[in-house]
Structure 1
Amino acid sequence: MSNPIQYLTTAAEVQHAADILRTASRIAIDLEFDDMRHRYGRNLALIQIFDGQTPYLIDPLPLTNPAHELEPLWLILRDPAVVKVFHSCKSDILLLDELYGVHVRNIVDTSVQYTLLAEADNNISLGRLIQAELGIEVDKGEQKSNWLKRPLTEAQMQYAANDVLYLFELTDRLRDKLAALGRTHWAEEENAALEDVRYSRDERPYLRMAGKYRILPQELPLFRDLYLLRDQVARQLDRPPYMVFANERLPELVRDLPRNLNAWKAARGLHPELKRTPYLEQLAALSAEDFVPAPEPTLPAEQRRFPFRRRLTGEKAARADAREQLLTQLKTYITTDINGFVANLVLSNRLVADIIELGAEQVLRPWQKTILRETAERHSLDYTLVAQPF
């Protein structure tokens, strides 16, 4: 039975908790953050930590200088001597890097452990995993809460604490199951790789919008300029861009562009701020007869889809096809020898494309290379044909 939840709102309380947590051999950790749902940008809303005795909820919102006042916690996250147990940590460690420059060391991710059991498809939620492995049903009713709203309710606090209370029991159970399958080193390699995950700014976020498929290629510069103007207003209002106008309106406005200032004033679904100076004039300028949007620059080769295969012709293309055929054979054999889930962990579509160009020795982790090499040997196939760069 754990101690009562400790809700911390001051720098002194954070420092005191960090002094205790620093002595732990491992901590369970989770973050609640808002990602363009209630405010602009990605905003840390709560840090949950459990040391096996006490669940701590650290609230960054009342702090006057969170980056500085949370530094005692960041020191622990950076300390390789303390194990950090997460569930599905990618978004959390990216946020810590983006906002605070924190690179977490010595990570154990229960979602990674579960995936490597290869009992089912990955991407299992924490609630489902706790129920499946521990037989405990946790209330997930606060999943879509506004975590930036204060005060937090008792239900929110309990929900947040539940995200860390079961992680030790869960990771120990999954560790034992992996050990029984001889896969301990698989998890060690995958978890070690999480230390290298870094945030990188997306310079062309508008290309991720589904709406871009509803416009013509020559309309992309206008699509981009409208997207960026919407983003500018959202940042000023500290509201998510969808509150300035909905995502689906973006391609609609591009395809049926209001022709003048009055038409923009009458356009439906736009935030009132867009219909005021200076934004209204910027919208009207997009419709001006002499407006020529800056052309969309060509994507660098490494960001294009399948750039390597597109460059190949003749004999080289045939060699790439032969590589793909061999990898497809190997994937089929791994499915037969082990199971389809492991086959997809070793040779997903993305990994196959990378191996064709860069070779298995560069692309795969040691445990994946071992499976691929042993499968090739067992079925009298030549691993060296896919081992090195093309």
Structure 2
Amino acid sequence: MPTIHYLTTADAIATAAAHFATLPRIGIDLEFDDMRHRYGRHLALIQVFDGTEVYLIDPLPLPDMAADLEPLFAVLRDPAVAKVFHSCKSDILLLDEVFSVNCRTIVDTSVQFTLLAAEDNNISLGRLIQAELGFEVDKGEQKSNWLKRPLTEAQKEYAANDVLYLFELTDRLSARLTELDRADWAAQENLALEAVRYGRDDPRPWSRNAAKYKISAQEMPMFRELFMLRDTVARQLDRPPYHVLSNDRLAELARNPLETALQLRTANGLHPELKRSPYAEQLLAIGTTDLEPDAPLPPEQRKFPFRRRLNGPAAARADAREALLMALKSHLTTDHGSTMANMVLSNRLIADIIELGTEAALRPWQQQLLKGSAEKHGEDYASIEQPF
């Protein structure tokens, strides 16, 4: 294990960041809590590898986390310094959501591995290290409470391992991609990661859970109000919402609401705060009030699937585009294998192409591969290039 620097002050972080700014690349990872031990998403640790030594940057002791981390954030924004991650989307979403920081010049080893088309799913860092470097790293601290201090030595070693092997991995994967003439594919995918942003201001944050639990239109107002009450209590307690009321119990109460004080007192699966004023009264009011259904969303917020907006000849044209794309997916499978076919024409991408065309929906490397299979098998690629 190389030297591990544990940084807890703004001055130490600024000094380290000045060093990172002189390097061609750094390996980086974040540990954060996402509604696991506290309400919301909280940065807990930043790990950086400079090629020789590991820096564990602890943001929790900082008086002003955003301001004191700004020297490091400046490096993340600097396109001259490559940032090597493994499976970085969660990390870059957190940086955008909490700090409005957008990384530049990202190299993601997960993206690189995926483009080798060896497997159809994302590979964990531990599995990638084992596959490429031939040894195992201890992942026992993966579900640690990273907000608890002091960190244990096991946590520090785990955190260091998350960045220690990134350079060796990306170099190996880059060489294999070059041999396959796919280095530019990885460059396109990594460049696209710079545009990933956190989706703010969901007008109906309860809708995803409602769909999962098959909440009916009649049950939806009850589910909505329970969801929002749970969120209010969770925010006040600084606890994850599921500590206040599990998703399963939330769905049960939407179908069988609490209507009396006796029912509330004897109800199981509720955080004690829900049985105290003022939340107890609010919970009973939800169960005994004739609630209004959701108001219609403004037109700009409505997300009706494209195909549901079509009928008659337009629907027939869309069906023809889909049939062609399914045929092309079969050809891609024959030419390049099922893993690559799914990367070029996943179900989501097929839906996007039907509406937007290949030029807008696909990266250039995907367009090139798809066009090559279309020409080889005599299919009309030109008919799906442009928007519907």
Do the two structures share a fold, i.e. TM-score over 0.5? Answer: yes
CA deviations on 1:345-388 (whole Å, 9 max, x unpaired) are: 11000000110111111111111111111111111111111111
Paired amino acid for 2:383 = L
1:336 equivalent among 327, 334, 337:
334
Asked if 1:378 is matched to 2:376, the reply is yes
Asked if 1:111 is matched to 2:110, the reply is yes
What is the rounded CA distance, in whole Å, between the counterparts of 1:280 and 1:124 in structure 2?
Answer: 46
Matched residue, 2:275: 275
Aligned runs of 1:246-261 on 2, under 5 Å?
246-261=246-261
1:195 deviates by 0.5
* TM-score, normalised via structure 1 length: 0.96
CA deviations on 1:103-124 (whole Å, 9 max, x unpaired) are: 1000000000001000111211
Residue 180 to residue 210, structure 1, CA distance change in 2 (3 Å): farther
After superposing on structure 2, the runs of 4+ consecutive aligned residues of structure 1 that deviate more than 3 Å are: 297-306
Equivalenced residue count is 387
Paired amino acid for 1:338 = H
Aligned runs of 1:117-266 on 2, under 5 Å?
117-201=116-200, 202-209=202-209, 213-266=213-266
What is the rounded CA distance, in whole Å, between the counterparts of 2:117 and 2:300 in structure 1?
Answer: 31
Matched residue, 1:82: 81
Aligned to 1:196, the other structure's residue is in SS state coil
Asked if 1:59 is matched to 2:67, the reply is no
What is the rounded CA distance, in whole Å, between the counterparts of 1:308 and 1:247 in structure 2?
Answer: 30
1:299 deviates by 5.2
Paired amino acid for 2:312 = G
Gaps of 5+ in 2: none
What is the rounded CA distance, in whole Å, between the counterparts of 1:387 and 1:135 in structure 2?
Answer: 44
User: Do 1:211 and 1:250's aligned partners in 2 also have CA atoms closer than 8 Å?
Assistant: no
Matched residue, 2:32: 33
User: Do 1:211 and 1:247's aligned partners in 2 also have CA atoms closer than 8 Å?
Assistant: no
What is the rounded CA distance, in whole Å, between the counterparts of 1:17 and 1:303 in structure 2?
Answer: 44
User: Do 2:129 and 2:136's aligned partners in 1 also have CA atoms closer than 8 Å?
Assistant: yes
CA deviations on 1:97-153 (whole Å, 9 max, x unpaired) are: 000010100000000000100011121100001110111211111111111111111
Paired amino acid for 2:73 = W
User: Do 1:111 and 1:122's aligned partners in 2 also have CA atoms closer than 8 Å?
Assistant: no
What is the rounded CA distance, in whole Å, between the counterparts of 1:185 and 1:122 in structure 2?
Answer: 21
Paired amino acid for 2:347 = N
Matched residue, 2:23: 24
What is the rounded CA distance, in whole Å, between the counterparts of 2:170 and 2:300 in structure 1?
Answer: 37
Aligned to 2:46, the other structure's residue is in SS state strand
What is the rounded CA distance, in whole Å, between the counterparts of 2:78 and 2:35 in structure 1?
Answer: 31
Aligned to 1:47, the other structure's residue is in SS state strand
Paired amino acid for 1:188 = A
Paired amino acid for 2:174 = R
User: Do 1:32 and 1:147's aligned partners in 2 also have CA atoms closer than 8 Å?
Assistant: yes
1:301 deviates by 7.1
What is the rounded CA distance, in whole Å, between the counterparts of 1:69 and 1:118 in structure 2?
Answer: 41
1:262 deviates by 3.2
1:216 deviates by 2.1
Residue 156 to residue 276, structure 1, CA distance change in 2 (3 Å): same
1:208 deviates by 1.8
Paired amino acid for 1:333 = H
What is the rounded CA distance, in whole Å, between the counterparts of 1:34 and 1:213 in structure 2?
Answer: 25
1:345 equivalent among 343, 346, 349:
343
Greater shift, 103-112 or 216-225, is seen at: 216-225
User: Do 2:210 and 2:223's aligned partners in 1 also have CA atoms closer than 8 Å?
Assistant: no
Residue 154 to residue 236, structure 1, CA distance change in 2 (3 Å): same
User: Do 2:219 and 2:254's aligned partners in 1 also have CA atoms closer than 8 Å?
Assistant: yes
1:275 deviates by 1.1
Aligned to 2:219, the other structure's residue is in SS state helix
CA deviations on 1:141-198 (whole Å, 9 max, x unpaired) are: 1111111111111110000000000000000100000000000110000000000001
User: Do 1:212 and 1:223's aligned partners in 2 also have CA atoms closer than 8 Å?
Assistant: no
1:212 deviates by 5.0
User: Do 2:126 and 2:139's aligned partners in 1 also have CA atoms closer than 8 Å?
Assistant: yes
What is the rounded CA distance, in whole Å, between the counterparts of 2:214 and 2:140 in structure 1?
Answer: 35
Gaps of 5+ in 1: none
